Amino acid sequence: MDNAENNRMCIEKLGELLAEREFEIVFNPDQCWVMCHLHLINLCTKHTCEGFTNVNASEIERNITTDTVKRHSNTEKYTPVNECVSKEDYIQAIHSKPLDKACSLVCAIHASGLRCDTFWERIKVGNEQGWYKYPLEMKVPLVKLLHEVVTRWDTLLFLLNRLRILRPAVDYFVCMPEWQEELGHLKLLPTEWLVLSDFECILMV
**Angle, nearest 10°, between helix axes 87-95 and 37-54?**
120
Mean pLDDT for the chain overall: 80
What's the average model confidence in pLDDT over 44-49?
Answer: 79
CB atoms near residue 5 (< 10 Å): 7
pLDDT band at 81 (very low <50, low <70, confident <90, very high): very low
Contact 196, 69 (CB under 8 A): no
pLDDT band at 66 (very low <50, low <70, confident <90, very high): low
Cα distance between residue 36 and residue 155, in whole Å: 19
Cα distance between residue 96 and residue 12, in whole Å: 46
Is the pLDDT at 59 greater than 70, yes or no?
no
pLDDT on residue 185 = 92
N- to C-terminal Cα separation, the chain:
21
Query: pLDDT (tens digit, 9 = 90+) per residue, 2-20?
Result: 556 677 788 788 888 877 7
Is the pLDDT at 76 greater than 60, yes or no?
no
Kindly state the percentage of the chain with pLDDT values over 70: 77
pLDDT band at 125 (very low <50, low <70, confident <90, very high): very high
Domain layout of the chain by residue ranges: 56-204
* More confident site: 104 or 91: 104
Is the pLDDT at 115 greater than 80, yes or no?
yes
Q: CB-side exposure of 60: number of CA atoms within 13 Å?
A: 21
